[in-house]
A and B are shown apart, each in its own frame.
Chain A
Amino acid sequence: MSATRSPAALRGLRDAWVVARFDLGESLRSRKVLIFLALYAAGAVAAAVIFTEVLQDIEEALAEQLLVARTSQPGSLTQAVMEAPELRLVLVRLVRDEELADALLRVPPIALLYHWVALTFAPVFVVFTSSDAISGEVSTGSVRYALFRTDRTSWAAGKLLGQTLLSGVGLALGAVGAWIVGYLQLASFAPLETAAWLARYVVTAFFFAFAHLGLALGVSQLTRSVPWSRALGLFALAFVFGAHGWLGRDVVQEEAPVLAASLQQIFPAAHRLDLWRPSLWDGVVAMTVLAALGFVYFAIGHLRFARRDA
């Protein structure tokens, strides 16, 4: 049996892809990850359902104010709701940017909601599902079947890629669920426009999730204990959000504005707002930085994994 070994540079990539495909398959076959995926999709669907009900309440109130007939299906007065000055005011306060607020008001509301849910909950989901991706294999010893066949970097990169694909599947499922809810529940639903915006938001949310995935797999390489890696993952998540929030406080910004603003850039939350911007360039820059952050977090953990016993 002759093995065809490609040149060293390509071999690492090939092995990482082989590991990623197997890891994705193993994850999708495992009940634990399936439950998480189902929860994720259910969360997006539930948020969409709740949103449509809230929308109906708002529309009913609006109908009373405008003295028009009440609607049985939400979304009939969506345009009126989106044009309401109160909503614009709320959005401006939220994003602190009038231009961005105006742009968001032109986006189908179900897509806006999906993006908000994905950016809020995807980091938690990826930390829950992936912070034991490497420590789990080290603790059970199954990593030892792989490490005499490929190098540690290719194997760990393959695990990162596999979990990235998995989070992509989760985000896409959530988007499909949100679109279906909108299609079934909203009267003035624009299927193609909503689908296009959802597709765009799946991509932006994917990059935001990737930064946190890098964090999760980074800490997963620090220990062979599954409970420890989960705890470290949650701690790291709390830290990156907490530190970003702390650096953004007025007191800190006044004391050291340049340093605080610079340090904020190493946390994914600093780039979240740019993912909402309609300009493609802003989005691409933010996604590039988020991808780089994910790789850096992963690489820091890998420095330890590459040197320790597996």
Chain B
Amino acid sequence: MSRFALRLKGVEKRYGKTRALDGLTLDVPRGALMGLVGPNGAGKTTTFGVVSGAVRPDAGHVDVLGEGPFDPARHAGRMTVLPQDCALNPSSSARQILAFQARLQGLTAKAAAREADRVLELVRLSDRAGSRVSQLSHGMKRRLAVAQALLGDPELVLLDEPTGGLDPHLVVAMREILSAQRGQRTVVVSSHILADLEATCDHVAFMEDGRCQKSGPVEEVTRRGALVRIQLAEPMRLEQLAAILDGRDPELEGDVLRYHLSPGEDPAEVQRALLPALIEAGAGVLEVRLGESLEAAYMSSRSRRDDR
């Protein structure tokens, strides 16, 4: 069994003169909950299309679940997808659509009906199970679309903007649903809401211009094991800090102090040493965190790229 649930190597896709994917290379480890981050037009949706077989790549290699490119004969029922902005059949009810899709995944009629009810409950749509899709609100349609991606017991789930158009409380519910998938299957989720991805994902990939700019475990990308970031109440001068920090060598940017951990250095020990000294010197400490936020890591990745 391959270590990776999904591997893309040098994948290219053009639409006329536009390069949607420009040699995309990306590995998604089996069991990972990976966030795919990137601006509009970065190629995230095309990536999902290529992986799920809806879009034919011009070049490159796609390996789904260690068994080559997507092939319904091998992968049907083992991979599910939430495509972006795709309408569901308007005249059927939520339950009918889900039961139909579950049947296509190979379930018997009885099992499909049970499965439809299970995922409707999961996305809190049980009370609208009999409603036609055309009678559902935008948010409900989105939840129904998410529900179909959770049918059965897939090994790989691709979710393109699952929280788009959802109410805040449903965003929280969606986060819980995603977190519950951890350890059970591999999930790749694209979203513009980086805080959501940071809260749920253990891996992340930054995409831009059809390429993967950076990818890896969230801890690594945000440097959780290598950086202590302290938000101060007001800016300080470096000389003031040097006196307080007793030989340690911090990096100061306005009111943010970054301390780079040496290999093997215990972040808890560093905090135990730094925080009392800062407080004693009258520096208000607003927040202490390990590493950057995902948003900061993403923005710094973008600015480094822009500088180049």
Contacts and interface: CB of A to CB of B under 8 A. Distances in A.
B104 A149 contact: yes
A144 B152 contact: no
A149 B153 contact: no
Interface stretch (A15-23, A172-180, A287-295, A296-304): A15-23
Contacts of B81: 144-145, 148
Interface stretch (B105-113, B195-203, B272-280): B105-113
A145 B108 CA distance: 19
B83 interface: yes
Nearest to B46: A309
A144 B106 contact: no
Contacts of A143: 54
Contact of A148 (B52, B107, B132, B145): B52
A21 to B, nearest CB: 8
A145 B86 contact: yes
Q: Is the interface of B mostly helix, strand, loop or mixed?
A: loop
A3 B83 CA distance: 22
Contact of B73 (A8, A145, A146): A8
Nearest to A17: B103
Contacts of A142: 86-89
A6 B92 CA distance: 27
Nearest to A155: B104
A308 interface: yes
A249 B257 CA distance: 91
Chain A interface category by residue count: 20 to 34
A29 B83 CA distance: 25
B59 to A, nearest CB: 15
A9 to B, nearest CB: 11
Contacts of B52: 144, 147-148
A25 interface: yes
Given A307-B56, A309-B49, A309-B54, A150 B87 contact: no
B53 A148 contact: yes
Interface of B: 49, 52-56, 70, 72-73, 75-77, 79-81, 83, 85-92, 96, 100-101, 103-108, 111, 115, 132, 145, 148, 152-153
11 contacts: A19-B104, A22-B96, A140-B87, A141-B83, A145-B81, A147-B53, A148-B52, A149-B76, A150-B104, A309-B49, A309-B56
Given A11-B106, A26-B92, A148-B75, 9 more contacts: A2-B153, A5-B106, A6-B106, A22-B96, A142-B86, A144-B49, A145-B148, A149-B76, A151-B73
